[in-house]
Amino acid sequence: MFAIERYNKAQSVEDAVKLLVADSEAKLIAGGTDVLIRLHEGSSDFRSLVDINGLAVLKEITEEPDGTVRIGSLATFSEIMDSDVVNKRVPVIAEAAATVGGPQLRNTATMGGNICAGVPCADSAGALLVLFIVVQLIVRPLFARNDRLQKQLRARTLALSELQKMRTEYENLQAATLSSSARFDQREKDFTLYKFLNRLAGETGIKENIKSMKPTTTEQKDSRYKISRVDMRLESITPAQLTDYLHRVETSANMVSIKKMSVTKKEDNEGLLTAILQVETLET
Ligand SMILES: Cc1cc2nc3c(=O)[nH]c(=O)nc-3n(C[C@H](O)[C@H](O)[C@H](O)COP(=O)(O)OP(=O)(O)OC[C@H]3O[C@@H](n4cnc5c(N)ncnc54)[C@H](O)[C@@H]3O)c2cc1C
């Protein structure tokens, strides 16, 4: 059994910081590929978890007008590999990302988790370290000597950068739309969120803990997709079962996400939880 006592899903970066400050034992969980293995091995280092998976703002990969490339700590290795910005500006990072594990792992594991896990094999950390040394020891001093020239160049290229940024954003948007539709097409023909959640509950052994499951759908204006939502209540569930279930929901290829969650501890039953979840996806 996993030694998890407290689990909180952060709703924002500020929320995550508050949760970490409030509990000195709290540790972040992102993709969970390291944390869940450590828990499985019996580690007690992750008794209290703050789940940051799903904070879209930390997934962003962007290029600033001055050429700085920012990779959000929640960007997965697949997203980094496929990023136009990374491939264009720092291809060594895309190459390093492509060497990590297999496709399934790359779809889940994040670069932030890789760097912070402190594992000796951290592939992205090596590439980032080399880049840091090159920038600090070679590029920065060179730029300092050519500061005036750089300022002139920057002024002239600012407008061009803005245009390039807009084009990159447009291309990213197109790519994201295409990859989302491809993933929708890969779903089982008779996929419904309700059936999916029910099947996962069976696979994780918590079917009997489901006290209610209420599906709703909302049509969207000018879209072929409707929002499909399931509100569910799980009772007398262990923290390990809950984490396992949440992890499988969020890492499935079916583009399903947990929108709201509240977890309470049962007073009469030590260690058991009641969880109320709202899970959402898009369906045609
Ligand atoms: C089958 C398999 C193959 C693997 N192959 C490779 C490989 O080839 N190369 C390689 O380098 N690694 C490999 N790994 C290791 C692992 O996948 C990576 O370290 C992964 O990137 C961790 O990311 P995560 O999001 O899953 O982190 P998590 O497991 O969620 O977290 C890992 C650690 O980082 C902390 N953390 C997570 N996000 C943040 C953040 N934003 N800020 C601060 N701390 C944070 C967590 O608290 C935890 O201590 C492999 C793992 C598995 C299971």
- The per-residue pLDDT for 196 is 94
Please give the distance, rounded to the nearest whole angstrom, from the Cα atom of residue 223 to the centre of ligand 1: 36
- The per-residue pLDDT for 55 is 92
- Please identify, by atom number, the ligand 1 atom nearest to the C-alpha of residue 35: 29
**Distance between alpha carbon 243 and the CA centroid of its chain, in Å?**
15
Helical (H) or strand (E) element with 240:
helix 239-251
Q: Which of 74, 48, 46 is nearest to 61 (CA)?
A: 74
Ligand 1, from 28, 59, 121: best to mutate by most atoms within 8 Å of Cβ?
28
**Distance between alpha carbon 162 and the CA centroid of its chain, in Å?**
28
Helical (H) or strand (E) element with 234:
strand 226-237
Identify the sign of the CA torsion 75, 80, 83, 85.
positive
Please give the distance, rounded to the nearest whole angstrom, from the Cα atom of residue 110 to the centre of ligand 1: 6
- The per-residue pLDDT for 210 is 96
The CA distance from 142 to 253, in Å, is 46
Q: What is the pTM of this model?
A: 0.55
Q: Which range of residues forms the domain containing residue 87? A: 59-186
- The per-residue pLDDT for 212 is 96
Together in a domain, 109 and 137: yes
Together in a domain, 84 and 172: yes
Residue nearest to atom 49 of ligand 1 (CA): 117
Please list, in sequence order, all residues whose beta carbon lies within 8 angstroms of the beta carbon of residue 64, skipping any fewer than 6 positions away.
70
Q: Which residues of the chain have pLDDT under 70?
A: 1-2, 118-183, 222-223, 266-269
The CA distance from 269 to 229, in Å, is 30
Ligand 1, from 17, 29, 34: best to mutate by most atoms within 8 Å of Cβ?
34
- The per-residue pLDDT for 152 is 55
Please give the distance, rounded to the nearest whole angstrom, from the Cα atom of residue 32 to the centre of ligand 1: 7
The CA distance from 257 to 14, in Å, is 20
Q: 235 in helix, strand or coil?
A: strand
Together in a domain, 86 and 171: yes
Ligand 1, from 105, 106, 107, 128: best to mutate by most atoms within 8 Å of Cβ?
105
Together in a domain, 69 and 136: yes
Residue nearest to atom 36 of ligand 1 (CA): 113
- Please identify, by atom number, the ligand 1 atom nearest to the C-alpha of residue 122: 11
Together in a domain, 169 and 223: no
What are the pocket residues of ligand 1 if the criterion is a CB atom closer than 6 Å to any ligand atom?
27-35, 37, 73, 100-101, 105, 109-110, 112-114, 116-117, 119, 121-123
Torsion of CA 121, 126, 127, 130, to 10 degrees: -170
Together in a domain, 64 and 47: no
Number of domains the chain is built from: 3
Together in a domain, 204 and 258: yes
